[in-house]
Structure 1
Amino acid sequence: MPAPFALELCGFREGRPNTSDKNDSLSQELGHAFFELLGVPAEKVAPKTVDKAWSAAMVADLAERIAPTAPHLGVRAERRLEEFEQYAHLNALKALAEDASPEVASALTRLERATHSTGSELASLVAAVNEAMTAADGRRRALVDLLGDESPLRLDVAVDRAVPSSPAGVFDVANHLVAGFSLKWSLRTDRLQDPRTQGAKMATMRRGRMPHFAAVTMEPRPYMLGRLGRGTGDLDCVYHLALPPLIEAVRAVFTDNRDRIRQRDIFMRMVEQRRLRDYDDLVAYVATL
């Protein structure tokens, strides 16, 4: 059964399904068959963008459906990795760059005031300490600049739970990340690797248990789904918002030549191997975390 919010996001642009590539005739043929099975009216106009509406709808749907069995879980959109327990250390560099030792600076200010009544020797000492602090701060900032500043990784949808207490250290971290999802309505070559790159970084940067991480898509083409899902373990799997109708559409369209039959067979192997799963599987899995 399709995700309950999927049909709201489907529609046509200049006569083609908004899951289809305008430069790929097979993508459009499959898209039309797919939308017909989904029951998308031919006159329905596709929304200009789906990203924000999709993430909000998925968060609301997941929160409602897992609440009976997993009330301890929170579901949120657009979260940064360093907000969670396993990745809190990613804030260390930023904290180091911004640390101006306010406690020491405050103590020196009080000491400077005291020098007005104690003579020039102490004033000279205070000035030397100030100079040393300024030099040390400059060296620290130069080293931080040399390390660079990568853009923080964001999860389109995150599922988390509270932890009994914050980990030892300077960061106030409330939640433990149990699952994260990268949402890709359709797949294009220039952004196909984004979820896999994100998954690889999450695995190498974590401190603690690896969260369940997967891509979620509405892409119909077996070839593109295969390029995303037949990876090296960067993703646990790929979830599809409407897998049963897509299976039916692929079986109907990919029949008339050897190349199409090969793509159909690869697609069906992905389903059988559970590399490609339905959205209902996502909901059921999260409810057990």
Structure 2
Amino acid sequence: MADAWLSKARTEFHATILLETLTQNTKGVPSNADSGSRISVDIASAILDRIGIAKTAGKLPGQTAGSNFEEITATFVRLCFEQMQHLRPGNFFVNKGGGIAQFDQYAHLDDLEAIAKTNKQIATALGSDYLIKPDIIVGRMPETDQTINRSIVLVDDQTAKLSSLRALNNNQPILHASLSCKWTLRSDRAQNARSEGLNLVRNRKGRLPHIAVITGEPMPTRIASLALGTGDIDCVYHFALPELRDALLDLRREDTLELLDTMIDGKRLRDISDLPLDLVT
């Protein structure tokens, strides 16, 4: 049986990462490993053995590696949406970066910012945490009445006069998903994905978008620092979850494997290939 389209897309996703983002130095240390941690290096190396051959190159600066990972992930998600129109019809778009105030649920945040600029006391009270710029945004354009009424006349001048999905009522895109990309999880900065998620929950007017984190971190303990707990993030997605689990089995890391399985069984950690189907749910 030929490989499924999503399996091929996942393989291509890894191949693109191997072009320059996931490399190894002259000592064989993968670029997503913590060189100061033997366990991290061993796990990252075992994952790398399973997904392909990495180039020998110097480690990219953190911002460059992160930006590359965002671009590769955005392309993967965009291609998947193009193949899944039958599961979630609509005029969707996937962009790398961009503020949330451009979307219907968060358009009022522009008004808040304008008010804050004119009053220092209000600016101090509001802070700036609500001015979120996700790494990847998935948006949906409102639909015309012609599209909505394509199969049967669903709406007219007397009904659905407030729904944001109807272009007659709303000219702004709707935020469908906010995706945060963390190539590695080695600092407290990784936790800003939680605060971003909470702000998306608290500051919305309308439906809540999907809120997810995608990471290439090899250490389950560090993944757990972000994945465990609920309320702020839908789920964390690993760039090579089956390979990570197999690596832990081969390395006989029973304690760490138990932690990984806890996250998987608890629906807090999934593979990158699960992300597209979850996004069209």
Q: TM-score, normalised by structure 1?
A: 0.74
Aligned partner letter, 2:248: V
SS in 1 for 2:39: helix
Deviation readout 1:155-195 (Å, 9 max, x if unpaired): 1001010125997xxxx961100111100000013223111
CA distance in 1, matches of 2:31, 2:208: 34
Identify the residue that residue 262 of structure 2 maps to in structure 1: 269
- CA-to-aligned-CA distance 1:37-63 (integer Å, 9 cap, x gap): 222236355544222222222222222
Deviation at 1:206, TM superposition (A): 1.0
Among 53, 64, 71, the residue aligned to 2:68: 53
Q: Which deviates the most, 228-237 or 42-51?
A: 42-51
Which residue is equivalent to 1:33?
A: 46
Question: Are 1:79 and 1:158, in contact at CA under 8 Å, matched by a contact in 2?
Answer: yes
Mapped to 2, the partners of 1:142 and 1:189 lie a distance apart of 32
1:132-151 alignment runs, 5 A limit: 141-147=119-125, 149-150=127-128
**Between 211-220 and 33-42, the greater mean CA deviation after superposition:** 33-42
Task: Give secondary structure in 2 for the equivalent of 1:62.
Answer: helix
Unmatched segments (≥5 aa) in structure 1? 99-139
Task: Give the alignment partner of residue 11 of structure 1, picking from 23, 40, 58.
Answer: 23
Change (3 A) 1:148 1:208: closer
Aligned to 2:222: 224
In 1, Cα distance between the equivalents of 2:180 and 2:274?
Answer: 16
**Residue identity in the other structure for 2:249:** R
Give, in angstroms, the shift of residue 144 of structure 1. 4.2
> Which residues in structure 2 correspond to 1:154-233 (within 5 Å)?
154-164=133-143, 174-233=172-231
Q: Contact 1:10–1:40 at 8 Å: present in 2 too?
A: no
Letter in 2 for 1:157: I
Please tell me the residue identity of whatever aligns with 1:223.
T
Residue identity matched to 1:204 = R
CA RMSD of aligned residues (A): 2.4
Distance in 1 (CA, whole Å) between partners of 2:174 and 2:226 is: 27
Q: Conserved in 1, the CA contact under 8 Å of 2:74 and 2:136?
A: yes
Q: Partner of 1:123 in structure 2?
A: none
Larger RCO (CA within 8 A; separation ≥ 6): 1
Distance 1:67 1:235, change over 3 A: same
How big is each residue's C-alpha offset from its partner over 1:101-135, in whole Å with a ceiling of 9 and x where there is no partner? xxxxxxxxxxxxxxxxxxxxxxxxxxxxxxxxxxx
Q: For residue 252 of structure 1, what is the amino acid of its counterpart?
A: D
Distance in 1, matches of 2:190 and 2:92, equals: 29
Q: Could you tell me how far 1:241 is from its partner in structure 2?
A: 1.1
Shift of 1:207: 1.1
Q: How far did 1:225 drift?
A: 1.0
Structure 1 segments of 4+ aligned residues over 6 angstroms from their partners: none
Do the aligned partners of 1:159 and 1:179 also contact (CA within 8 Å) in 2?
Answer: yes
Higher helix share: 1
* Mapped contact 2:40–2:219 kept (Cα < 8 A): yes
Q: Please show how residues 242-281 of structure 1 align to structure 2 within 5 Å.
A: 242-253=240-251, 255=252, 260-281=253-274
Contact 2:141-2:174 at 8 Å conserved across structures: yes
- Opposite residue 232 of structure 1, the aligned amino acid is T
CA contact (8 A) 1:83 1:173 kept: no
Where does structure 2 lack aligned partners over 5 or more consecutive residues? 1-9, 145-162, 165-169
Structure number with greater Rg is 1
Secondary structure class of the residue paired with 2:36: coil
For 2:80, give the aligned amino acid. R
Q: Residues 76 and 188 (structure 1 numbering): CA distance in 2 closer, same or farther, change over 3 Å? A: same
Which among 232, 239, 242 is matched to residue 241 of structure 1? 239
Cα drift, residue 199 of structure 1: 0.7
Equivalent position SS for 1:67:
helix
Q: Distance in 2 between matches of 1:190 and 1:143?
A: 29
Deviation of 1:203 (Å): 0.7
